[in-house]
Amino acid sequence: MRLILIGPPGSGKGTQAKLLSENLRLFHFATGDVLREAIEKDTSEGRKAKPFMTAGQLVPDAIVNEIVAAQFRGSDKPRDFVLDGYPRTIAQAIALDHVLAEQSLGLDAVVFLNGDDEEIVRRLGNRWTCPNTMCNAVYHALFKPAKVAGKCDLCQTPLYQRDDDKPATIRKRLQVFHECHDAILRHYRDQNLLIEVCGSGDIEAIHAKLVNTLRV
Ligand code: AMP
């Protein structure tokens, strides 16, 4: 199955994409994770992306499109995948259409995980991430706390709060999302691929709803 998950920052799309990838055996391709790893490794892409990410802005299309195209053109290109955090602009959606067509990979669905902005600000303020790039587990102080406060359950690395999870940055990211997402949703609605799912509530219940909606 080939999926795109679209949702405002904090709609839970990362968590849901991870669950879908584990349960449906899909390659989880999150551009945010790839970019954070590039920054950590101090690659040229990472150095270019960093100022945009810390300011809560989108990284320029050319950089992100190149990362995605390289993945799909590489020797370990995925056949079944869930794309998380990409595309985020109409230019990215068009670039992705071309790359997938070139690789003869059709999409099965584009899921829009909808959410309320105020709930999102509250949710993200409680989000803690494992900085270990081999792990990248995400916790939530209220909904999914680590067993030992401040430490990753999986690898025991001390958790941290991402710069782009700070309230002012969250509001900026939500504004950016709303400016771009209408055109993207229209793009996929026109292709009869769009499915809308409410992202409020319990993580497992939303996952069950997604699997049921995708009828797998
Ligand atoms: P995420 O982990 O998906 O919330 O992404 C974190 C940050 O990475 C975003 O706020 C952007 O700065 C950058 N980013 C991730 N994916 C993209 C993308 N498709 N286009 C532009 N910037 C992106």
* Inside any domain, residue 194: yes
How far away, in angstroms, is 31 Cα from ligand 1 center? 6
* Banded pLDDT at 163 (limits 50, 70, 90): confident
Would the pLDDT of 164 be above 80?
no
Give the C-alpha separation, 47 to 41, whole Å.
9
Instruction: Summarize the confidence of residues 32-45 as an average pLDDT.
Output: 93
The total domain count for the chain is: 1
- 12 C-beta closer than 6 A to ligand 1: no
Query: Domain range spanning residue 93?
Result: 2-116+168-215
Would the pLDDT of 216 be above 70?
no
Give the number of other Cβ atoms within 10 Å of residue 149's Cβ.
Answer: 10
Q: What is the pLDDT of residue 201?
A: 80
How far away, in angstroms, is 103 Cα from ligand 1 center? 24
pLDDT tens digit sequence for 102-146: 999 999 999 999 888 888 888 778 888 999 999 999 998 888 999
Would the pLDDT of 195 be above 90?
yes
Task: From the CA of 176, give the closest atom in ligand 1.
Answer: 10
* Inside any domain, residue 190: yes
- Ligand 1 test: best mutation among 66, 84, 164, most atoms within 8 Å of CB? 164
Would the pLDDT of 35 be above 80?
yes
Instruction: Summarize the confidence of residues 35-44 as an average pLDDT.
Output: 94
- 32 C-beta closer than 6 A to ligand 1: yes
* Inside any domain, residue 158: no
* Inside any domain, residue 66: yes
- Per the model's pLDDT, the better-predicted residue between 75 and 29 turns out to be 29
Give the C-alpha separation, 22 to 35, whole Å.
22
- The answer to whether 58 and 88 have CB atoms below 8 angstroms apart is yes
Instruction: Summarize the confidence of residues 174-180 as an average pLDDT.
Output: 86
Instruction: Summarize the confidence of residues 48-75 as an average pLDDT.
Output: 93
Helices (H), the chain: 13-24, 31-40, 44-54, 61-73, 90-102, 117-124, 167-190, 203-214
- 31 C-beta closer than 6 A to ligand 1: yes
Mean pLDDT for the chain overall: 91
Instruction: Summarize the confidence of residues 165-193 as an average pLDDT.
Output: 88
Task: Choose among 176, 195, 196, 191: nearest CA to 89.
Answer: 176
Q: Is the dihedral of CA 107, 96, 30, 179 positive or negative?
A: negative
* Banded pLDDT at 176 (limits 50, 70, 90): confident
Q: What is the pLDDT of residue 30?
A: 94
* Inside any domain, residue 62: yes
Q: Active-site positions?
A: 13, 88, 127, 162, 173
pLDDT tens digit sequence for 75-98: 889 999 999 999 999 999 999 999
Q: Can you give the CATH number for the domain in which 36 is found? A: 3.40.50.300
How far away, in angstroms, is 157 Cα from ligand 1 center? 23
Residue nearest (by alpha carbon) to ligand 1 atom 1: 32
| Amino acid identity at 15 | T
- 86 C-beta closer than 6 A to ligand 1: yes
Would the pLDDT of 46 be above 90?
yes
Q: What is the pLDDT of residue 22?
A: 95
Would the pLDDT of 37 be above 90?
yes
* Inside any domain, residue 148: no
- 83 C-beta closer than 6 A to ligand 1: no
- Ligand 1 test: best mutation among 5, 53, 136, most atoms within 8 Å of CB? 53
- 7 C-beta closer than 6 A to ligand 1: no
* Inside any domain, residue 146: no
**Kind plus residue range of the DSSP H or E element containing 81:** strand 81-84
- Per the model's pLDDT, the better-predicted residue between 115 and 191 turns out to be 191
* Inside any domain, residue 71: yes
